[in-house]
Amino acid sequence: MAVQNGKVHTAVVLQGGGALGAYEYGILQALYEQRPGFRPVAVAGISIGAVTAAVLAGAKADPISALDRLWRNEFVVSPPRPIDRLVPPRIGRSLAVLGNPGMYRPNPALFTTPWTATSLYDTTPLRRILTELVDPDKLNGEEPQAIVGATNVGTGEMEFFDRRRPGGLTFDHVIASGSLPPGFPMTEIDGRWYWDGGLFSNLPLAPAINALHQAGNGDRSAIRELIVVELFPMSAPIPHTMPEVLQRMVQLQYTSRLKLDKPYFEESGRFVDLMAKIDQQLPRRSEVRRDPTYQALLTSRKIDRFSVVTSSLPAELSHASDFSRSTIEARIRAGHDDAIAQGIGHVDVETPSQDHRLSTVVKRWVRQHWGSSRSA
C-alpha cells in the first residue's frame, strides 16, 4: 500500500564518520527531493551525524540549503581555484591534517604548553559555523526533534541529549557528540566531561525508536518509519593491502551490526500486534489493566518500515579524514544515488492481514490467564 508522506512518522538515524557525513547529506538531499514536504519527527545523530541533525532540525533557513553550504563550502579543505588543480590528489586528500576552517584548527597549546594539551585540535570553528547556521530556538522546537549522543568520560556511559533536557539542547551537546580523542578535546557540560558518542555506540537507535513511539500522540493507526544510514557496512571484500586492512578495521569498529537488529524489529512488531489484540480481548475491569508493567507495554508502537541505506563508497572515498573538494562532491553524489537506488523515495507498507488464527489464540490465552469471570 503506497502511503502519503504526510501520514507517515519518520525518524532518521545518522552515524558518525567524519568527512563521510557528506554521504549522509547526499541521502538527505535525495529524501527531501523525492518526498515533497518531507519533515521527520526526529533526527538522531552521533558525531558528524549530530552536526547534521542539528542543522537539519534547527537551520535558520531551508535545512537542505544549510547542509549544502556546510558540506560544499564550510567543511571543504582545498586550495582556492584554480590553484587546486596544481596540487597532487594525494596531497589534496591529506590537507585536513593542517586543520579545517569550518570544523577545527590546531590546538595552540601544542606550541606553547604542550605538556598541558589533551588534544591535537580545538573545535572553535565548528561552534562558529553552528552559530551561523542554526537557530537555538528552532533546534529546540517540536519537530523535527534533534537527538545527539555523547560518551561521559568519567562514567564511560552513553548519554543522549534533546530539547527535553533541562536547559534544552545546546551547541555544547552537539560539539560533545563529535569530540573524538585525541584529535578533539573533551567538552564540559554542567561539570561533566564528554567525548565522541561513537566511542560507546555509533548508532543511536534507541532514542529514535522512542521518538517514533511517541509520535502522533501514540496513535496506533499511524505509520512509523525508521531510516538508518549505514556508513560502515558489515560485509566487505577481504583486504589485501595495508590501507585496505586499516579501512576494514575502522569499518568493523564502527559498524552498526544492523543485521542483528532487523530480527529484533520483526519480533517486536509481532509483539506489539499481539499486545493490541490482547488489549481488545481483555475484560475491561481486569486487574491486569491497572498493572504498571501492562500499561507500559501498551505504550509500545510498531515500527512499520525499517529502511537501511548502506554505503557503497569505494575504498578511495571511504577515508573519514579526507575533506578534499572532489571527494566531498563524489560522496554527496554517491549518497544521493544510493538513496534513490535503495528505494528511499516512497513508503510502501503492506496492509496487515486479518489473521483469524492469531485472534483465536489470543482469546483462548486471555480466558486461560484472566478468566471470563472478571469481565464487566
Do the domain assignments include residue 243?
yes
Residue tagged active-site, from 78, 119, 122, 196: 196
Do the domain assignments include residue 16?
yes
Do the domain assignments include residue 3?
no
Answer whether residue 374 shows pLDDT above 60: no
Q: Which domain holds residue 65?
A: 8-371
Which has the minimum average pLDDT: 245-254, 257-266, 333-342? 257-266
User: What pLDDT band is residue 28 in, cutting at 50, 70 and 90?
Assistant: very high
What percentage of the chain exceeds 90 in pLDDT?
Answer: 52
Do the domain assignments include residue 376?
no
Answer whether residue 131 shows pLDDT above 90: yes
Q: Which phi-psi region, left, alpha or beta, contains residue 254 (left: φ > 0; alpha: ψ -120 to 50)?
A: alpha
Answer whether residue 138 shows pLDDT above 80: yes
**pLDDT tens digits, 94-106:** 888 899 999 999 9
Whole-number Å distance between alpha carbons of 150 and 94: 27
Answer whether residue 285 shows pLDDT above 90: no
Residue tagged active-site, from 47, 119, 179, 311: 47
Quote the number of domains for the chain.
Answer: 1
Do the domain assignments include residue 45?
yes
The pLDDT assigned to 265 comes to 67
The pLDDT assigned to 153 comes to 97
108 CB burial (10 A radius; 0-12, 13-18, 19+):
exposed
Q: Is 47 a catalytic residue?
A: yes
The pLDDT assigned to 120 comes to 95
The residue ranking higher by pLDDT, 189 or 314, is: 189
Do the domain assignments include residue 1?
no
Do the domain assignments include residue 2?
no
Q: Is 221 a catalytic residue?
A: no
Whole-number Å distance between alpha carbons of 72 and 25: 10
The pLDDT assigned to 261 comes to 60
Do the domain assignments include residue 162?
yes
What percentage of the chain exceeds 70 in pLDDT?
Answer: 85
Which has the minimum average pLDDT: 128-132, 149-153, 298-302? 298-302
The pLDDT assigned to 6 comes to 53
Buried b (16+ CB within 10 A) or exposed e, 155-183: eeebbbbbeeeeeebbbbbbbbbbbbeeb
The pLDDT assigned to 229 comes to 93
The CATH number of the domain where 88 resides is what?
3.40.1090
